[in-house]
Structure 1
Amino acid sequence: MAFDAYGEIRFVLSMVAFLYPLLTLGITSLPVRFFPDFSQGEGRNGFLSILLIAFSCALILSGIGVYFFLEYFWGFLNWMNFDITLFQKNKSIIAFLLVVVGLSDLLKRYISNFGRIVIPEIITNTLLKFFLPLLVLAISLQVISPNSFGWILIAVYALMNVLLIIYLGTLGGLEWKVNWKFLTRTRTKEIGGYALYGLIGSLGSVIAFNIDAIMVTGMKDTFANGQYTNALNFAGFLSVPQVAIAAISGPIISKAVFGNRWDEVSDIYKKSSLNLTFIGGTGFILILTNLADLFLISSNPKDMQALWWPVCFLGLAKVIDMMGGTNREIMGYSHLYKYNLGIVLILAVSNGFANYYLIPIYGINGAAVATLISLTLVNLIRGVFLYFSVGIQPFKKQHFFVILVLALLFLIIFNLRLPFWPFFNIIVRSGLTVLVIIGINHRFNMSPLIKSGVIDMIEVVRSRWNKSLKEGE
């Protein structure tokens, strides 16, 4: 029951993620790209109001289009051999979620221009990751009806939007008066062109990163999607620092590109790749070496055993994506965005075809392999394109050393057999891995940023310890 419930919830959220870039007509791609332009002079020329007006108009136009073309959509799904029962059952929930999810994405991106990511991340992703397991548990224990989960999700997202608006107000970002003279014909044309790119590019990205969950449900069932979603969650822990760095670096890259400071962009590119490779590789080791024990302490160890290869393939895909650093942001916020659109479409098409052919044969393993193939291909294309177009690449000499050390450490830790209970095995193995990697990094300075961060953390702990000892005297 838990896998079925989780699979259906994840299916609904994946459908929303799939549709909202299309139905919002790319408006959610505008906040970071044009914020530096609208921030010239005093104030921001009513940029937030313009975004909200455009967002509302996009939803109205899309709603009219959906009304006339919905039957054709059902026919397309039937042609793809999908079971459309689940699609039709949740269509009203998906419609309302499209509004609140799209608005939360718009607000979160706008807030990132103020250099704030921690609080919005807690309000959105962290809150949702905490809430979804509770919702699944409540459905499994029959505390709430399976038919009511969608409306509860809508209420949660509505609460997120209220909190984001309040937080934006504390930053002084609620500026409503629009300077219509600033919105010239040339600027409006540029915004419209980028919104079109955002529409197609975001749709391509969503197809690439969410089509697997949709196709697993449509071509298998909600139980299989529940299993696959659990594998995605394991691998998803690796992308937490990547999301944070993207949120921080996006506005910085946009401003640097706006000022034609490509040396600054190159520096961000290299540093982000090195640090994300270090963090992602370490996280991948921690997940894979502890996976067997994590399965043993789960509520359903037998069904969880099927997640081994999906977690392995998806985790590796995440690490490869992290090695690409901020290539997505550099291409998306520069004059190269049109070429990035083509790359994203390659990713979408390759992932769609790979899923279509691999899922019927290999199930969730096939979906994971499709993601690995697509992410490897798109990062390779982006890296080559950035090198030949603007002369920047993400790699330093430290990259080779980091990968070599992490590979050797994985082989050692993976073959380390501990005799304790699974929970204590995880603690001992994880602690040993972290201590070894921190020690090696301190000695050979593979990642200067992480080394300095660890030193600062130790100094903070030491100063507080000394302070408490003095107060005790």
Structure 2
Amino acid sequence: MGIVLNQSLKNTIITYLGFGVGAINTLYLYPVFLGATYYAVANYILSAANVIMPLFAIGMQNTLVKYYTQYKTEEERERFLSFTVLFPLLLCIPLGLIGLFYYDDIVYFVSKKNPVVNEFIWLIPFIGLCMAYFEIFYAWARVHMHSVFGNFIKEVGLRIFSLLALIAVYYKWITVVDFVYVTAGIYFLALIVTMWYAFRIKQPNFQFTIPQNVKEILEYTFYIILSGSVANLLLDGDKIMLNQYMLIDNIAYYSVATYIALVISVPSRAMHQIVYPITARLMHEDKHDELNELYKKTSINLQVVGGFVMLCIFVNINQMYELVPKEYSGGIVVVFMIGISKYFDLILGNNNAIIFNSKYYRMVLFLGLFLVFLTIALNMFFIPRYGILGSAFATLLSITLYSLAKLLFVVKRMHLYPFTKETVSSIVLTTAVFVAFYFWEFPMYPLIAITLKSILVTIVYLYLNYKFKISPEINGVLDTIYKRIKKN
């Protein structure tokens, strides 16, 4: 776990730094500087781009990680790298032609409830393509065990440039309309920088040749496209559905709530960057016991870290919403519903990496497709009746069912088990700390109240986790920190 803990810790710090910048943007700058309408427009464009991104990447970021280590010679690896970069371009052409042919129909369908999105529709495929190739070049770096820089660009760089663009709006150097276009430019810049970094790690030697196992690769890629679309629809599909049924301002209210809840999933995102290729290697080498041990370690470590983040959010949620305009306050319940779904997904550890690198990925995909249809149906039912709360409930139900299905599949089919007795202990401990602190509020300025309560939660939570030895790895990290402090 050495390299996992090392790079995961760096990625976690970077990701939380990015979420800190993002919190400033989301809780204050976006609502105040852009207003609800154009904040919602920018968010909708990015969400739609993220949903179609797997079609442009055609799953090559996952395919690259799965198959790269299986090639034995440098020539085979260079041929494979070339294929993963060049092949998606061939499929982007027909997708672009289809988009042009049906452009008027697409614009009418998307903008019939909110005409304000009309002029920005073409940005969706552009940003989607940038996102797709960013992920491919990021995977290029990850297979060479360099995950930190790409994570910095993705989590911190994008948000810092968005922060600068928001400042430009404040000083009226650009308009709120210009901001949407600048956002597209930021994603293009992220792509260029990541491509440059990937090429520095491994100098490209592009070859217009096809790998020998191309049939196997394309079959795997086809299923990964669909599974990636499933995951992204579960993540951003609710915002797209809100645009079809409600005034677009509601996307802004919903986005603030979901952003706060998504902070809970940061540890999983950070660890996933380095655990994914290790999982692929262990499965390729058929090291079942090592994989099972890794599964358990990632599960409990993510549960402890994610539980801490969830606690800090939940016990401070009322004070957090005192920092945003009052019209956003209806999202507090959304935070709880989305947050709980993210926590459950978090404690599954490297479940996704195991599934995507196994021979059973096809069957799980079909289950995911069913759940996408379920999500759409639930949103269509609940949004007209309950607004953003209905959308949040539909997301909670869908993600929980999807996560539970994946867990049962891995347990039954592959005989891998993520949970231990510490799993139950951690849930009980987290619940007890939540009950102890949620109803205790400091009558002072929200930021000061949040800081004080978070410090107290941190002390109590770390002490109890250490005392009951929930995670040996985290206890080891705390012991190391204590020894260094004591030595100084």
**TM-score normalised by L of structure 1:** 0.90
2:477 corresponds to which residue? 453
Residues 332 and 340 in structure 1, CA contact (< 8 A), matched pair in contact too: no
Unpaired runs of 5+ residues, structure 2, are 1-33
Q: How many Å apart are 1:397 and its aligned residue? A: 0.7
Alignment match, 1:443: 467
1:219 and 1:360 in contact (8 A); partners too: yes
Find the counterpart in structure 2 of residue 48 from structure 1. 81
Q: How many residues align?
A: 455
Secondary structure, counterpart of 2:460 in structure 1: helix
Q: 1:57-206, aligned counterparts within 5 Å? A: 57-71=90-104, 73=106, 83=113, 85-136=115-166, 138-139=168-169, 142-171=172-201, 173-178=202-207, 180=209, 183-184=211-212, 187-206=213-232
Offset at residue 309 of structure 1 (A): 0.3
1:253-280 per-residue CA deviation (whole Å, 9 max, x = no partner) reads: 1111111112222112111111111122
Aligned in 2, Cα 1:41/1:19: closer, same or farther, shift over 3 Å?
closer
Q: Given the alignment of the two structures, is residue 225 of structure 1 paired with residue 245 of structure 2, yes or no?
A: no
CA offsets per residue over residues 397-451 of structure 1, 9 Å max, x none?
1011110011011000112232433222111110111111111122111111211
**1:75 Cα deviation (Å)?**
6.7
Structure 1 stretch 85-94 or stretch 371-380: which is displaced more?
85-94
User: Which amino acid is the alignment partner of residue 317 of structure 2?
Assistant: L
CA contact (8 A) 1:74 1:84 kept: no
Aligned to 1:288: 314
Deviations 1:337-356, CA, capped at 9 Å, x for gaps: 11221122133122111111
CA distance in 1, matches of 2:293, 2:80: 30
Q: Which shifted more, 8-17 or 192-201?
A: 192-201
Question: Structure 1 residues 87 and 417, CA, compared in 2 at 3 Å: closer, same or farther?
Answer: closer
Contact 2:83–2:208 (Cα < 8 Å) also in 1: no
1:320-469 residue pairs with structure 2 within 5 A?
320-463=344-487, 466=488
User: What CA distance in whole angstroms lies between the structure 2 residues aligned with 1:138 and 1:313?
Assistant: 35
Identity level (%): 23
Map of 1:318 onto structure 2: 342
2:50 to 8, 13, 17: 17
CA deviations on 1:193-215 (whole Å, 9 max, x unpaired) are 11211221111222111111111
1:317–1:375 Cα contact (<8 Å) kept: yes
Superposed counterparts of 1:209-248, under 5 Å: 209-248=235-274
**Cα distance change, pair 10–75 in 1 and its aligned pair in 2 (3 A):** closer
Task: Give the Å deviation of 1:283.
Answer: 1.1
Contact kept? 1:111, 1:168, Cα under 8 Å:
yes
3-state SS of paired residue (1:45): helix
Structure-2 change in CA distance of 1:134 and 1:4 (3 Å): farther
- CA 1:319–1:344 in 2, change beyond 3 Å: closer, same or farther? same
Shift of 1:175: 2.8
The one-character-per-residue Cα deviations of 1:134-191 (angstroms, maximum 9, x if unpaired) are 54564466442233223312321222122212322342x12314394x722xx11011
What SS does structure 1 have at the residue aligned with 2:69? helix
CA distance in 2, matches of 1:460, 1:54: 50
C-alpha contact (below 8 Å) 1:117/1:244 kept by paired residues: no
Which string of whole-angstrom CA distances, capped at 9 and with x for unpartnered residues, describes residues 49-79 of structure 1? 211211211211211222334455457658x
In the alignment, the residues of structure 2 paired with residue 332 and residue 325 of structure 1 have an alpha-carbon distance, to the nearest angstrom, of: 14
SS at match of 1:363: helix
Range that drifts further, 137-146 or 357-366: 137-146
Q: Is 1:29 equivalent to 2:62 in the alignment? A: yes
69 and 34 in structure 1: CA distance in 2 versus 1, 3 angstrom threshold: farther
Alignment CA distance shift 1:43-1:459 (3 Å): farther
Measure how far apart 1:282 and its partner are: 1.5
Contact kept, 8 Å, 2:238 with 2:391, in 1: the verdict is yes
Report the counterpart of residue 6 of structure 1 in structure 2. 39
Query: In the TM superposition, what whole-angstrom CA distance separates every residue of 1:89-136 from its partner, at most 9, and x where no partner exists?
Result: 212222321222211111112211122222111111222233335545
* Letter aligned with residue 91 of structure 1: I
Unpaired runs of at least 5, structure 1? 467-473
Aligned partner of 1:38 among 71, 75, 78: 71
For 2:246 and 2:67, how far apart are their aligned partners in 1? Answer: 42
Q: Which piece of structure 1 moves more, 260-269 or 135-144? A: 135-144
- From 283, 286, 303, the equivalent of 1:260 is 286
